[in-house]
Amino acid sequence: MECGSKFGADVGINRRALRDIKNFMGAAPPGSHTISGRELQKQVAEALKSHQTCSLVNDELKEVDMEDAVADLVMDIDREDADDPFAVVDYVEEIYAFYRETEGSGCVCPNYMSNQVDINEKMRAILIDWLIEVHYKFDLMEETLFLTVNIIDRFLARQTVMRKKLQLVGVTAMLLACKYEEVSVPVVDDLIIISDRAYTRAEILEMERLMVNTLQFNMSAPTPYVFMRRFLKAAASDKQLELLSSFIVELCLVEYEMLQFPPSLLAAAAVYTAQCSVRGLKLWTRTSELYSSYSEDHLLECSRKMVGFHQRAEGGKLTGVHRKYNTFRYGYAARSEPASFLLEAGPPS
């Protein structure tokens, strides 16, 4: 930008000009007409204004450049937790590497429902939507919900279940997940009541034995929740981003088609989609890419599906997740605007 040359051309002085104005006023340049003091003051004022405008523009450009530079930096997200023994900084990379290696063992065939004869993906969706409400009513930890759904899918992928027993599978899976994750576990009688006494205590305990044997007592599996905590940290998230990411990934629990994506990808795509919604533009830093091992291009297919779920969350038939996140406790995250531009041909970036 020609800020300096414009200043010199208008006033006819060098860059040190302000202290020479008095001399300039006393003698007009050769070949020019005489300029009155008022006219000169006006020219100087306009030149100064132009110079200040250029300075402001340059400052703004520098600020944008700094933001871009920060976005390009790879941050050490564990540095501030070095003195926190619960953060296990010395081992956290190995822990998440292990999760990535083993997440496949907790995944199921994305078309396993074709082997069921009396239930389908719509019944699964109704069950999980109801369990989300049960989970909220019992005030359980978030990881319990994700493990519950994982246990259900792994069991249904191995065992044929009649529709009249599907709800029994659901409440029993939640009981098992609670025993694995919770400090205080709901008693069997609570589950009987919440299921409108559709099953007896003996039936729940019998289903529990069948499920743990079918799964060979392997209750643990990396879920999207496990990865999302790490990826939110890499995104330097605040409470708004955290709640919106959780809302988006819980919408995916109900959707059978999302079984095609591994848990780590679901988590990364949820954080990415939430960032796009909050910021109004595509945002995936090098830090997020490093710690998630996913580039922005890897996330787009999954993210676009999430945007569609977000758009339909309020008006759909299954609204358990939307009602949960449309509360003060969850920051009214369900009211956030979907990142609809991700569905367009040329989204902003």
pLDDT at 114: 95
pLDDT at 344: 84
Residue 79 CB contacts under 8 Å (≥ 6 apart), including other chains: none
**Could you tell me the residue ranges of all domains in the chain?**
3-72, 107-214, 224-343
pLDDT at 147: 97
The C-alpha atoms of residue 250 and residue 135 are separated, in whole angstroms, by 12
The C-alpha atoms of residue 131 and residue 123 are separated, in whole angstroms, by 12
pLDDT at 30: 46
Burial degree of 123 (CB within 10 A; 0-12, 13-18, 19+): middle
By the 8 A CB rule, do 302 and 260 touch? Answer: no
- pLDDT tens for residues 108-128? 999 999 999 999 999 999 999
Q: Which one-letter DSSP state was computed for residue 270? A: H
Residue with tokens 């990865």: 227
By the 8 A CB rule, do 143 and 226 touch? Answer: yes
Fold of the CATH domain 107-214: Cyclin A; domain 1 (1.10.472)
- pLDDT tens for residues 169-217? 999 999 999 999 999 899 999 999 999 999 999 999 999 999 999 999 9
By the 8 A CB rule, do 249 and 224 touch? Answer: yes
Q: Which one-letter DSSP state was computed for residue 91? A: T
pLDDT at 91: 84
Residue 230 CB contacts under 8 Å (≥ 6 apart), including other chains: 96, 291, 292
pLDDT at 84: 74
Fold of the CATH domain 224-343: Cyclin A; domain 1 (1.10.472)
pLDDT at 220: 87
Q: For the chain, which ranges sit under pLDDT 50?
A: 1-35, 44, 57, 61, 64, 67, 69, 347-349
Residue of 321, 301, 293, 328 lying closest to 149 (CA atoms): 321
Indicate if 224-343 has the same CATH topology as 107-214: yes
How big is the chain by its Cα radius of gyration, in Å? 30
